[in-house]
Structure 1
């Protein structure tokens, strides 16, 4: 078993195993980890000071090299000021909306890049809400993404000697010699196997049983379906140590479900395709997510645009500090999260205690008030063997419950489930039911268990 504590870096020099002399990319990854290992313990004030220094450099570049920022006198003034950027100034800067990125991509794309940032790489999101997004990043920015992937492995003490399985979009069924460049450039790893997420759940379960991986990464909704399948059909994954979700808000109780299905621990990564890893679960206090503050400046803003205080939920606004190809400064992601106090682990990295999802995931009551809905899987599984469940609100006084089941619910089951839902949701309206015999989600799209169409 080769854990991060016992692993030696991969040496690129023949005959030299220890101390290792890494290849350039591996050496850079190790150098980055050396810095990250120290900066995670900095005070919040020191982290913010360094973030603002880097942001000032990004703004200067953006004003010189993009039409979007050059056209606005607010950005030009910041770029030209001689004194450091302050947090109060940051709070007054314009918010970049998703529609701006969709409609003004040429204006937001830099006309020239520093040579050391490498080549342009095209970004394309899956469009979880039906609107795909395109953009650009640099090789250097992608290097930082890899650095935080490696940090996650190091934080959670993953066994580099194990087999890593990924069920996701944009991959096929294949076997790879290692875990990918984010890890293998610096360390020797075991093999990796991949499978497309559009593979039927039964085939996924059979594939996993054949592969017997040590680690599995996939979208939360896919992991939930797999766990239910494994419980129902007694699929055994003897070697599985950890299950990692990304790209979606995990449903309530998913960690317990995974423990029941496979006896594995659950880890979640808060990420976005245009930004990379936003926050990782704390290795010491897993109820907390630590923002990757060395790469992203994350703000949580209330309905008035003011910074949230610990305990409050707000809109997630992110600045990508190192993507000079397409500067995303105060980019409103469309998510909501809850801000936490400094973690008791001692790390100074900002804390999110809850990833709430998008505004379209909020329930609206007949009086116009809103809150985040809660309806854990055990609530509906206690009524019928439903394989997939989604709530959709189109009216203030009515919610449609879509369910995947081979047969319709009986009237007794509908009555019982409606009572459970109205109580759990704190919703005084009507619940109507609609049966489906095919999966509710589309391949390549994030699954949302509650969707508001109001």
Structure 2
């Protein structure tokens, strides 16, 4: 079966059957979409459904995309040929773009940077994977240092946003907790529009190393799946030298799987830290579409 557009996100909400048919909208999407709730099914079920539907376009989060790719490769599924994958809600790593191209027959990722408070913030440059054009009709973006002062051109800093259409509850110089680099124009295509690059995402994805320095960490789905059938995970830094590791698995964690996770975390996060493993039936995620799968100590 072939579909034009499929979505696997937190919206739509829970539904009956394998997916929900979303009617065409002349302003938002001119054709019908197959909408599937991301939390209602396992990653393996998502992967099998995607292979069966074989959509031309797919909208999802980078975390779900990475996990589906890993499962398709591990289970030997026949991946569909997808033209374009539209992502939101998390940082897109260059390695994920390459994996998507290889697995889905040359699929390109078109990412957008947004938040629940103001909506779209920036859209990926049409000629470069490295830069994002600020949605100037919707938001004002400032990049500032820790003292709240504007950073120089091409320097990373904290992202502040001012929404231009939130009349009832204005968001003015709202600190998203994100880190990015600002540009007066787009170096990728030359467009004379403010641009962003090096979107590291939430500061909570930074490991506090205790010496005043921080380090960005990215744990991918394949890191976990190489250790065991991990369906969900959350890594929480509870102290300068310690982390709490929450995992949801398809069966009770075996001693060898626990040792594999410890070794993986020592390798990816740091050998100087201790990791306390906790297997849960479900992780208590905060309300909202974004899942903070790595929560570090705020510097």
| Number of the residue aligned with 2:240 | 396
| Number of the residue aligned with 2:20 | 174
How many pairs align?
Answer: 285
| Number of the residue aligned with 1:113 | none
Aligned-residue offset at 1:352: 1.4
Match of 1:203 among 39, 45, 50: 45
Kept in 2, the 8 Å contact 1:388–1:440? The answer is no
Q: Which runs of 5+ in 2 are unaligned?
A: none
SS at match of 1:339: strand
Q: How does 1:7-18 map to 2 (within 5 A)?
A: none
Seen in structure 2, the aligned counterparts of structure 1 residues 279 and 255 have a Cα distance that, compared at 3 Å, is same
Work out the CA distance in 1 between the residues paired with 2:279 and 2:169. 44
TM-score normalised over the length of structure 2: 0.80
Match of 2:260 among 413, 437, 450: 413
| Number of the residue aligned with 1:320 | 163
Aligned-residue offset at 1:412: 5.3
- RCO higher in structure (CA 8 A, sep ≥6): 1
Q: How does 1:51-450 map to 2 (within 5 A)?
A: 163-171=4-12, 172=15, 173-178=19-24, 180-183=25-28, 189-201=30-42, 202-250=44-92, 253-263=95-105, 264-340=107-183, 342=185, 343-377=187-221, 379=223, 386-405=230-249, 406=251, 407-410=253-256, 413-414=260-261, 416-421=263-268, 425=269, 428-436=272-280, 445-450=289-294
More helix by percentage: 1
Instruction: Name which of structure 1's ranges 309-318 and 201-210 shifts more when overlaid on structure 2.
Output: 201-210
Aligned-residue offset at 1:307: 0.7
1:86-142 deviations in whole A, cap 9, x for unaligned? xxxxxxxxxxxxxxxxxxxxxxxxxxxxxxxxxxxxxxxxxxxxxxxxxxxxxxxxx
| Number of the residue aligned with 1:84 | none
1:337-378 deviations in whole A, cap 9, x for unaligned? 222463141111222112222232221113343232244555
Q: Pick the structure with greater CA Rg.
A: 1
Work out the CA distance in 1 between the residues paired with 2:116 and 2:132. 18
Q: Which runs of 5+ in 1 are unaligned?
A: 1-161
Aligned-residue offset at 1:206: 3.4
Kept in 2, the 8 Å contact 1:365–1:427? The answer is no
SS at match of 1:253: helix
Work out the CA distance in 1 between the residues paired with 2:231 and 2:101. 18
Work out the CA distance in 2 between the residues paired with 1:221 and 1:376. 8
SS at match of 2:121: strand
